Amino acid sequence: MVASAPVLRKALKTSSPSLAFERALWEAGNDVVVGVDEVGRGAWAGPLSVGAAVLPKERRVYKIRDSKMLTEVEREALYDRIAGWCAAWSVGHASQEECDELGMTEAQRLAARRAIGGLGVVPDRVLVDGSWDFVGGGRTDRLVKGDRRCLSIAAASILAKVTRDRMMRAEAAHFPGYDFELNKGYPCPRHKVALRGMGPTSIHRRTWVFMDHLPWPSCHRPVPPEPEDPQGVLL
């Protein structure tokens, strides 16, 4: 059963992303336009996730906004509507182990490759949220604040956020005391207290600097990779 769309709060009514970027690309002959967004890069635990969404040209779903502007209840209410509306969509993940082994920049590229590979279609152009291209292939347009301006990126942001949040809620039962059902692996005071008292779990990213001063009762800590800038150059 598809949930009904949430009633928009007044603050959200003037912040609607548009199809202007997709329409311009369609008119230029690009039939498959993919919106891409990332979630989880700033988390202490869990995967880094990338959503990819291909919108249909002839149908609209309203009330979509950047996932960060919506409450969890609003995102959940929109999730099935967006998934059923998209011509194709996928969410790719880089695990916490891959984030540690590869570094966050390469892990984001890996999650993006998995997301686009899961679409079942070959993109003509990719619209990426942000100022750097973590997709590559010479077919990307970067849009600063794209999740607020571009409808396919906003849709991808909700698909990625809800998918990752559900994964973290499922992990909460395996790791009591860390409140993953509430914080989804992101920094917060209770998460910090749990780490200081019990140490990292098997789903924590163990190479983060914050982990230097924590107890390590039963987990091996890997050696972090060399730092890398967003363009892939070792620092």
For residue range 89-118, list pLDDT tens digits in order: 999 999 999 999 999 999 999 999 999 999
pTM (2 d.p.): 0.86
Numbered ranges of CATH 3.30.420.10 in the chain: 17-167
Instruction: Give dist(CA 234, CA 227) in Å, integer.
Output: 6
Segment 171-178 shows an average pLDDT of 95
What is the percent of the chain where pLDDT is above 90?
A: 65
SS3 5: coil
> What stretch of H or E contains 143?
strand 140-143
Length of the chain equals: 235
Q: Which of 9-13, 15-19, 207-211 has the highest mean pLDDT?
A: 15-19
| CATH number of the 17-167 domain | 3.30.420.10
**Residue 64: pLDDT band with limits 50, 70, 90:** confident
Instruction: Give dist(CA 148, CA 87) in Å, integer.
Output: 21
pLDDT of residue 54: 97
pLDDT of residue 223: 58
Whether the per-residue pLDDT at 62 is higher than 80: the answer is no
The DSSP secondary-structure symbol of 127 reads E
pLDDT of residue 44: 94
**Residue 1: pLDDT band with limits 50, 70, 90:** very low
**Residue 7: pLDDT band with limits 50, 70, 90:** low
Cα 98–Cα 101–Cα 106 angle in degrees, nearest 5: 70
**Residue 58: pLDDT band with limits 50, 70, 90:** confident
For residue range 196-229, list pLDDT tens digits in order: 888 889 999 988 776 776 766 656 655 556 666 6
171-200: burial string, b at 16+ Cβ within 10 Å, e else: bbeebeebbbeebbbeeeeebeebbeeeeb
